A and B are shown apart, each in its own frame.
Chain A
Amino acid sequence: MPSSSQADKLLVQRVRSGEDEAWNELIARFEGRLLAFVESRTRQRARAEDVVQETFIGFLTSLPNYDPRRSLEGYLFSIAAHKLTDQLRREGRRPTLPLSPGTSSGASSWEPRAPDRPASSILRSGERRHLEENALAAAIGEQIVQWQRRGDWEKVRAAELLFVRGWANKDVAARLGISEQTVANHKFEFIAKLRSAVRKQGLPEAVFPELYADSAEAGREEGDR
Chain B
Amino acid sequence: MNYRFAQAELEAYLDEALPAEDMARIEKALRDDPKLAAQLAALNARRDAGLHSLGAIWRRHRLSCPSREQLGSYLLGTLPRETADYVEFHVQMVGCRFCRANLADLEAQQAEADEVVQSRRRKYFQSSAGYLRRRRR
- A residues contacting B by CB (< 8 A) are 1-2, 15-18, 20, 23-24, 27-28, 31-37, 40-41, 49, 52-53, 56-57, 60-61, 63, 71, 73-74, 77-78, 81-82, 84-85, 93-95, 97-106, 125, 128-129, 132-133, 136-137, 140-141, 144, 151, 153, 156-157, 160-161, 163-167, 175, 194, 207-211
**Which chain A residues border B94 with CB–CB below 8 Å?**
160-161, 164-165
Between A36, A77, A82, A153, the greatest number of chain B beta carbons within 10 A of the residue's beta carbon is seen for A36
Which residue of chain B has its CB nearest to the CB of A99?
B44
By DSSP majority rule, is chain B's interface helix, strand, loop, or mixed?
helix
Q: Does B8 lie within 8 Å of A163, measured CB to CB? A: yes
Q: Does B128 lie within 8 Å of A53, measured CB to CB? A: yes
Q: Does A165 lie within 8 Å of B48, measured CB to CB? A: no
A74 to B61, CA, bound (A): 8
Q: Would you give the shortest CB distance from B8 to chain A, in whole angstroms?
A: 3
**Which chain A residues border B50 with CB–CB below 8 Å?**
125, 128-129, 207
Q: Does A33 lie within 8 Å of B52, measured CB to CB? A: no
Which residue of chain A has its CB nearest to the CB of B14?
A105
- B residues contacting A by CB (< 8 A) are 6-9, 12, 14-17, 19-20, 23, 27, 30-31, 37-38, 40-41, 44-45, 47-48, 50-65, 67-68, 82, 85-86, 89-90, 93-95, 97-98, 100-102, 104-105, 108-109, 117, 120-121, 123-125, 127-129, 131-133, 135-136
Q: How many A-B residue pairs have CB under 8 A?
A: 207
Q: Does A140 lie within 8 Å of B57, measured CB to CB? A: yes
- Contact partner of B85 (CB less than 8 A), chosen from A27, A78, A153, A209, is A153
Known: A60-B132, A105-B15, A165-B9. A160 touches B64 (CB 8 A): yes
**Which A-B residue pairs are the 9 nearest by beta carbons?**
A166-B8, A166-B6, A18-B136, A37-B101, A36-B104, A32-B105, A81-B16, A102-B48, A60-B131
- Contact partner of B41 (CB less than 8 A), chosen from A37, A93, A99, A128, is A99
- Contact partner of A81 (CB less than 8 A), chosen from B17, B30, B44, is B17
